[in-house]
Copies of this chain bind each other. A is one copy, B any other.
Amino acid sequence: MTRKSGDASRSTIRDVAARAGVSASTVSRVLGGVYPVSAATRGSVLRAVRDLDYVADARAKAIAGAGTPTLAFVLEDITGPSFALMAHGVEREATRLGHLCLVCSTEGDVRHELEFVEMMRAQRAAAVILVGGTADTPEYRERTHRMADSLASAGSRLVLCGRPPLDPGAPVTVIEYDNEGGAHTLVAHVLAQGHRRVLYLGGRADHTTALGRERGYLAAHRARGLTPDPSLVLHGDFTRDAGHRLMRQAIEDGLEFSAVVAATDMVAAGALTALHEAGLTVPGDVSLAGYDDIPFARDLHPALTTVHVPYEELGRLAVRTALERTPGAPDEHLLLGTHVVVRDSVGPPGSH
């Protein structure tokens, strides 16, 4: 039995020092690596470290000014595929840069968001990354501006990732992707197939992501000199169930349309199932498009035409810009482009 059994509680640097017959400062220096220490001393210290299975307390290190700060990200629900992708990007880049990361779900509750940011401030996180769209109200801007200030005054930094920018002056980094542009291109593609009545299955009516995509939907129509029927714009949320429910309702209500554009691929998935349940074929009877290009989009049947968003890259960028920022530098605002991925779910209008 060579391994240390779980007898003692954690050992301190002084325990190591005592066992090696040196002072605590020497142990710290051996472990630190740069200070000159004789080979003999180094050897006995390292042996003591191994014997005691010692690891320096990261929190004590942090307090003393050494140690790498942690990084935090706050999102609504890690279960959503696009959130998960961003989370993955954030996590990957953070560990690549040697930082640990804390994660929190808000479940969409603003109070939780506030609480978490406060906690992160207490943790002295290097940066707090707020992920995902939200309702863009004056109250949101005010509240978030306050968070940004309070984080900045604590030496930390707020990063908005896929979330609307604040008024200029807020110490914040914003990384967005182009919802309006992507939706515009996508809907233009649908219209180019000849569709004239395109149903839009949106998210919550006040949600920036949903709203941006809705603007793209409208802009694409206007660019063709079309004005879409307002009754073709439906609101729900970003879940699969909302897509399913809205689609079924639309069919039951006898709404006329030859194509459906969903605010997210999740919504599209639910809608697709509702379409199938109603005995409608895609794209024969009705065309369908999504948004996000989540990995599953390829495996829907027919494979879903959608807009690819570089979510993972977004997450990576968020941490990189936050961490590599020089304190005095001006605030950054990045807008990432998207592109549509044409698969099999959009075709010319049928005989429907």
Cβ of A102: which chain B residues have Cβ within 8 Å of it? Answer: 70, 100-103
What does the 1/0 interface line of A110-146 toward B look like (CB < 8 Å)?
0000000011011110000000000000000000001
Cβ of A250: which chain B residues have Cβ within 8 Å of it? Answer: none
Tell me the bound Cα distance from A10 to B299 in angstroms.
50
Cβ of A9: which chain B residues have Cβ within 8 Å of it? Answer: 153-155
Cβ of A119: which chain B residues have Cβ within 8 Å of it? Answer: 58, 100
Q: Taking the complex as formed, is A32 at the interface, i.e. its CB lies under 8 A from any CB of chain B?
A: no
| Contact present for A240 and B88 (CB under 8 Å) | no
Q: Taking the complex as formed, is A300 at the interface, i.e. its CB lies under 8 A from any CB of chain B?
A: yes
| Contact present for B104 and A59 (CB under 8 Å) | no
* Chain B residue at smallest Cβ distance from A170: B6
Choose one: B61, B91, B124, B152; the contact of A6 (CB below 8 Å). Answer: B152
- Report A221 CB to chain B, min CB distance, Å: 28
| Contact present for A121 and B55 (CB under 8 Å) | yes
| Contact present for B91 and A78 (CB under 8 Å) | yes
* Chain B residue at smallest Cβ distance from A75: B91
| Contact present for B124 and A105 (CB under 8 Å) | no
Cβ of A3: which chain B residues have Cβ within 8 Å of it? Answer: 146, 149-150
Contact residues of A with B, CB < 8 Å? 3-10, 53, 55-63, 70, 77-79, 81, 84-85, 87-88, 91-92, 95, 100-105, 118-119, 121-124, 146, 149-150, 152-155, 171, 240, 269-270, 272-273, 276, 295-296, 298-301, 303
What are 16 contact pairs spanning A and B, CB under 8 A? A4-B149, A8-B153, A10-B154, A59-B63, A78-B78, A78-B87, A79-B295, A92-B105, A95-B104, A100-B102, A100-B119, A102-B103, A240-B295, A240-B296, A272-B301, A273-B301
